[in-house]
Amino acid sequence: MKIIIQDDYQNCIRDLAAFEKIKDHDVSIYTDNIKDIDALADRFKDAEAIVLIRERTIIDQALLERLPKLKVISQTGKVAPHIDLEACKARGVTVMDGRGSGGATAELAMLLILAGLRNFVEECQRLQNGQWQGTLGRQLSGRVLGVYGFGRIGEQIAHLGKAFGAQVLVWGRENSLKNASDKGFKVATSKEAFFKECDVMSLQLRLTPETQGIVTLKDLSLMKTDAILVNTSRAELIETGALVSALKSGRPGFAAVDVYEEEPIFNRENPLIGLPNCLCTPHIGFVEKDNYEAYFGIAFDNINAYCQGKPQNVVV
């Protein structure tokens, strides 16, 4: 089968142990990200299978109509709106997905939380510039760590925060609040109270039509002037432009973000990157070797299962 793997930014897929699973296929790997539909159609024109790395490339109806040989899309992680499932179904393209552990993203969230509290980047930069200590950091222990969304990753962050001595506070949908309460975590009395009480808030919701823009400028304006907001989920969970405005007004006082509405970013194109009170990382939450082995191991197993006439993890 002719397989194309798109958006391998680190040029690392061939070095994974999981790559052995598709060694007998005709595989082409591209390390760049292109968005032009003509360029994508030309690249994918001979593809029978496409492996997508999360939501880096959009597969819509207009593109599918130009890919007559395409039989299967194997998604690393869960399928999101970047794939037009109805168009795939109409054209007989099978879509399969999988998932990783989420542990890598939870670990990065904790790293960003601690880096924000301890002014880590600023202090490192001071030392590189020939200076010594210049700020007074804070510890996580004893502070309120808000977790917005108590799914798989949110729960991991709650447990990690508890291990650091944080007072974990959870907000989310009714079933999330019940789940958190059943597992011994305190839940907020309201969304308003949640934003007011958090010293640190980690946004851990899945992006859906219902959650898009769920965090508004009004919500952010309720946060403390020394509070920290961390987003390792999706940028679109926050109302467009709200985080930049909130940081400029000082509520919250600091943010650490790993996700952006348009990716990848080059030449400081996003306004968050220029703010002194925002720590920005290039969407590396899930980009970790063990996680990649899991993601691509499932994605490649899906393709082999399809070739054997026993498709698995089918979405459509």
Beta carbons of 26 and 49 less than 8 angstroms apart: no
SS3 86: helix
CA distance 151 to 173: 10
* Cβ-based neighbour number of residue 44 at 10 Å: 22
18 to 10, 295, 312: CA distances (angstroms) = 16, 9, 17
Beta carbons of 94 and 306 less than 8 angstroms apart: yes
Beta carbons of 168 and 158 less than 8 angstroms apart: yes
DSSP 205: P
Beta carbons of 104 and 286 less than 8 angstroms apart: yes
- Element containing residue 114 per DSSP (H, E): helix 103-117
Of 48, 258, 228, 254, which is closest to residue 146 (Cα–Cα)?
A: 228
Instruction: Name the residue with tokens 């509520």.
Output: 251
Enzyme catalytic residues: 234, 263, 283
Handedness of CA 270, 274, 280, 282 (dihedral sign): positive
CA distance 184 to 168: 10
Which residues, in sequence order, are bridge partners of residue 279?
A: 256
Of 60, 107, 111, which is closest to residue 87 (Cα–Cα)?
A: 60
Which residues, in sequence order, are bridge partners of residue 146?
A: 169, 201
